[in-house]
Chain A
Amino acid sequence: MKTDARSAAPRRLMDIVHAALFEEIPFNVAVIDRDYNIAAANSSFTDRFGDWQGKKCYEVYKKLHQPCDECPSVQVFETGKTIVADAVGIDQHGKPTHYVGHVAPLRLTEDGPVDYVLEMTRTVTGTRSWQQEYQILFDRVPCYITVIDKDYRIVRANEAFRHSFGDVLNRYCYEVYKRRKSKCPNCPAARTFRDSKVHNSNQVGTDRRGHDVHYQVTTSPLARTGDQVGHVIEISTDVTAVRKLERDVVEVERLAAVGQTVAGLAHSIKNILMGLEGGKYIVSLGLKKGDEEMVNEGWEMVERNFAKTTTLVKDFLSFSKGRLPQLQMVNPATLVNEIVDLYKDITARSGITLRSEIAEHVRRAPLDPDGIHTCLTNLVSNAIDACQMGEQKGSEVVIRVHEKGEKLVFEVADNGCGIDYEIKQKVFTTFFTTKGGEGTGLGLLTTRKIVQEHGGKIVLESEKGQGAHFRMEFPRKRLMTLWREGHGKQSSQTKQVRS
């Protein structure tokens, strides 16, 4: 048989317990009658609101002279049901005090009318301050913050968001952000709902005028650890202006590159014109003097500068045209041997040793043989120049080919004059040359372009006086992808892409 603890205890004991509870409970407790008179209150209430004896509740709570507009006690007297309410009052020192509490009916007889209400309130002034601060932070932070539910409806939005998008509560986030009728395919909030993790993404939305807006979005789960995510907080920053600036910077850089190219071209042409002018002068002087040797010298100068024009135009076109590599399955060793054959006489005459190191098991690869030939020619030609400028005995140029992991690697190394740090920063720059009028300044740039067209990269290692080492690395996976994409199958056709 069940025993009711209260009924089992002596009445005297229960009275003591009730009295103690009334006094010790950490709430402001007051008993109020139908005429708003405070019939009883505990010391916590007295400490907070001051003397209450013979006073109306609105006088004590709010220092008013008439009942509050929305009095919770009246509501409880009318309905007979407990309610939870919050309000702002004035404490006994005249300071605003926020409180929340239960207002419960008290009946003197079990089935009788509500004779009193019991108000148990707790002061939450500190908590409210924090809430207000968070609310200000939520509203004023210079980005959009929304809370969305599992149906992707916006249940909360901060001021910035409301200002830009209007009244959006209960509307779908995809509808508001992107004017879509269904969920976005790459929705970061969906990922957060799925895995409870923070996700970042870049999104393009549409504003009220139909313009594109670029957002950087962070989605974060709004749930305590271990709970299922019921809501996601979505923080978006409008980065449209940043994107525009980025585009502007690219445009400025592009224009600067065009300017640099034109200036470089003009520089080369002026040098050539100077040579032609000189040749013309010497020929003319030779003819005037009847000096055949002088005429020949001048004519050679004209021819030399005419050849420079041809080289410049050829290099420039080779560099400037967008060209897909014409891939063929070739033996990399064959390409290296061709270059050695091409340069062996020139190097021998200059006292430079030219040799190749071809590793075993170098496999065939889909390469543009003409392109790689151009790259190796440029690198070996530079290496020979470096050896000649180095003025040291035992000059050597080595061409290597080997496999390094999943990469096919060509290397050209020399022990010539080397390249110092300042020049190393410029070697892949348009029209940069250390060879004066002998170079067009396009060789290494063209080489890098061809390597990149193969999906590879070129690396330079050098110190002044320590020789130079150029390495072209071609990831085989990338080469095979290019090959499969069909570039190799149409090797007989020249494919151009618009640049």
Chain B
Amino acid sequence: MNETGKKILIVDDEQDVVRWLSILFRENGYHTEWAYDGREGFEKAEASPPDLITLDVSMPRESGIKMYGNLLKSEVTADIPVIMVTVASPKLEEFLGRLKTKKAPAGFFEKPIDKDELLKKVRELIG
């Protein structure tokens, strides 16, 4: 697989998900970085902006909802495309409700994901 030179930040509290997505993206020519909660994810995104972020919603310490809000507020991270990868839950509905006046994420994928569809979306967004 050709190197794309693009970096994806995976933010999820489940190590297995992080590991799987990390291998999946790496095998398809992307560099990866990861974080296990929203706070750590935002810090990493701001310190070294990735080309794309996959973001879970329900996480300890700081949720994906909070992190998405922080990403939009920061000039450094506001334009990074975000793909939500999460279990459909009341939290997700709450999240969608809050987005009415804000910029919506670039994509939504419900766990368990279809890896081919996810890769297709990633390529569509960052090549």
Contact = CB atoms under 8 A, between A and B. Distances in A.
A275 interface: yes
Nearest to A385: B60
Contacts, number: 69
Contact of A274 (B13, B36, B89, B113): B113
B90 A301 contact: no
B76 interface: no
A133 to B, nearest CB: 55
B90 A274 contact: no
Interface string B1-37: 0000000000001111101110110010000000010
Given A271-B14, A271-B87, A435 B27 contact: no
A266 B112 CA distance: 11
Interface stretch (A105-113, A209-217, A279-287, A374-382): A279-287
A278 B60 contact: no
B103 interface: no
B119 to A, nearest CB: 12
A267 interface: yes
Interface string A381-395: 000000001000000
B14 A285 contact: no
A304 interface: yes
B89 A304 contact: no
Majority secondary structure, A binding face: helix
Contacts of A270: 87, 110-112
Given A301-B19, A301-B20, A437 B13 contact: yes
A308 B46 CA distance: 34
A436 B16 contact: no
A436 B59 contact: yes
Given A278-B16, A437-B14, A437-B16, A271 B111 contact: yes
Contacts of A434: 60
Contacts of B13: 436-437
B39 to A, nearest CB: 12
Contacts of B16: 274-275, 278-279, 301, 304-305, 437
Contacts of A263: 89-90
A44 B59 CA distance: 92
A276 B111 CA distance: 11
Contacts of A151: none
A277 interface: yes
Nearest to B90: A263
A274 B111 contact: yes
Nearest to B36: A436
Given A285-B27, A437-B14, A267 B89 contact: yes
B115 interface: yes
A275 B27 contact: no
A406 B75 CA distance: 62
A427 interface: no
Nearest to A294: B23
A276 B24 CA distance: 14
A273 B112 contact: yes
B109 to A, nearest CB: 10
A277 B19 contact: no
Best-surrounded residue of A266, A270, A297 (most CB of chain B within 10 A): A270
A305 B60 CA distance: 20
Contacts of B89: 263, 267
Given A270-B87, A271-B14, A281-B23, 13 more contacts: A270-B110, A271-B87, A274-B14, A275-B14, A275-B16, A278-B16, A278-B17, A278-B19, A301-B20, A304-B16, A436-B14, A436-B60, A437-B15
- Nearest first, the 3 A-B pairs at minimum CB distance are A278-B20, A436-B13, A437-B14
11 contacts: A263-B89, A267-B58, A267-B87, A271-B17, A273-B111, A274-B16, A285-B23, A285-B27, A304-B16, A436-B14, A437-B16
